[in-house]
Amino acid sequence: MAKRKRQLSETKIEKMIKEGRGQGTGKDYLPWLKIQDVPSEGRATRGVGWTTGRRHELLSDIERDYCYLLDYADEVSDIREQFPLLPLEETLMIAEKIGVNHPRDPKTGVPIVMSTDFLITYGDKDCARTVKPFSEMEDERTIAKFEIERVYWETRHINWGIIIDHDLPDVLIRNIEWVHKEYHNEDVSDLGVFTMRNLEQMLAARLNDGEAISKACLACDERLGLEVGTSLALFRHFVARKKWSLNMNERIVPTLPAKEFKIATPEYRLEAKGG
């Protein structure tokens, strides 16, 4: 199979703009860059976001981890990754003004459209964040590109900052990752309100008594005649939906009791936020 051509040309930039790349909000937003457009750093990810309800184009492990945190934060109302710094002429002018070379395609020499990893909406305010490994923070070329980015957002009165991997709380992120894909769980509608309510009450009672998560879930599967693993998946669903809370800053270990387990919403409803 032929490799996808990633070289950039002025025609390709125009085509991307016409496609609506970097435009829209929420579920309708189209990232400027997609996974197939660039070599990824680490394991590229297309996870369906809780906040946006669409698949995110995340080009590195650190982007994925930061997106988990944003998804989990109640105050975040929109996440736009790979946000383009357009028009291109503006970043070219900024680069010339501050005396640094503007990024260019290494093969064609065409100036590239720079992008910020995340444009985030908190309430009614936007902020821009670039996420990078600490190992890149002493690279002079990287710092020069950061300065173009900083000035671009400063002219728009939008707060911009850098997030490094050392800033990210690994335990919290791994816990969010563990429950993340169960936010949308097909069993919720398939089982119906009556069975869901029984399962929730039965499982919560066992967890409140300090029973290990996996043991409590298996007992509920057997009691309700469910396929093994159903209750554990719904445990993750309840935590993801924040119907149930526990200490997310301690690693969730299924063979142990749920730390600081609490019921946040007493009765399950199928019309829970997010569908």
Query: CATH topology for 174-263?
Result: Arc Repressor Mutant, subunit A (1.10.10)
Using the Cα atoms of residue 234, residue 238, residue 241 and residue 246 in order, give the sign of their dihedral: negative
Q: What whole-number distance in Å separates Cα of residue 129 and Cα of residue 159?
A: 8
Cis omega (within 30 of 0) for bond into 87: yes
- The whole-chain average pLDDT of the chain stands at 90
Q: What whole-number distance in Å separates Cα of residue 185 and Cα of residue 275?
A: 10
* Domain coordinates in residue numbering, the chain: 10-168, 174-263
Bridging pattern class, strands 125-132 and 244-245: unpaired
Q: What is the pLDDT of residue 108?
A: 86
Sorting pLDDT into bands at 50, 70 and 90, what band is 1?
Answer: very low
Q: Do residues 199 and 271 make contact, with C-beta atoms less than 8 angstroms apart? A: no
Mapped onto helix, strand or coil, the DSSP state of residue 36 is: helix
Q: Do residues 270 and 188 make contact, with C-beta atoms less than 8 angstroms apart? A: yes
Query: CATH topology for 10-168?
Result: Trna Endonuclease; Chain: A, domain 1 (3.40.1350)
Mapped onto helix, strand or coil, the DSSP state of residue 72 is: helix
Q: What is the pLDDT of residue 9?
A: 77
Q: What is the pLDDT of residue 46?
A: 67
pLDDT tens, position by position, 141-170: 999 999 999 999 999 999 999 999 999 999
One fold for both 10-168 and 174-263? no
Q: Do residues 147 and 100 make contact, with C-beta atoms less than 8 angstroms apart? A: yes
Q: What whole-number distance in Å separates Cα of residue 235 and Cα of residue 213?
A: 8
Mapped onto helix, strand or coil, the DSSP state of residue 264 is: coil
Strand extents, DSSP E, 33-114: 76-84
User: Could you give the angle at the alpha carbon of 70 between the alpha carbons of 64 and 73, nearest 5°?
Assistant: 145
Cis omega (within 30 of 0) for bond into 133: no
Quick check: 275 pLDDT over 70? Answer: no
Q: What is the pLDDT of residue 87?
A: 95
pTM above 0.85, yes or no: yes
What is the length of the chain?
275
User: Could you give the angle at the alpha carbon of 54 between the alpha carbons of 112 and 64, nearest 5°?
Assistant: 65
Q: Do residues 221 and 230 make contact, with C-beta atoms less than 8 angstroms apart? A: yes
What letter would DSSP give residue 28? G
Q: What is the pLDDT of residue 45?
A: 64
Quick check: 42 pLDDT over 70? Answer: no
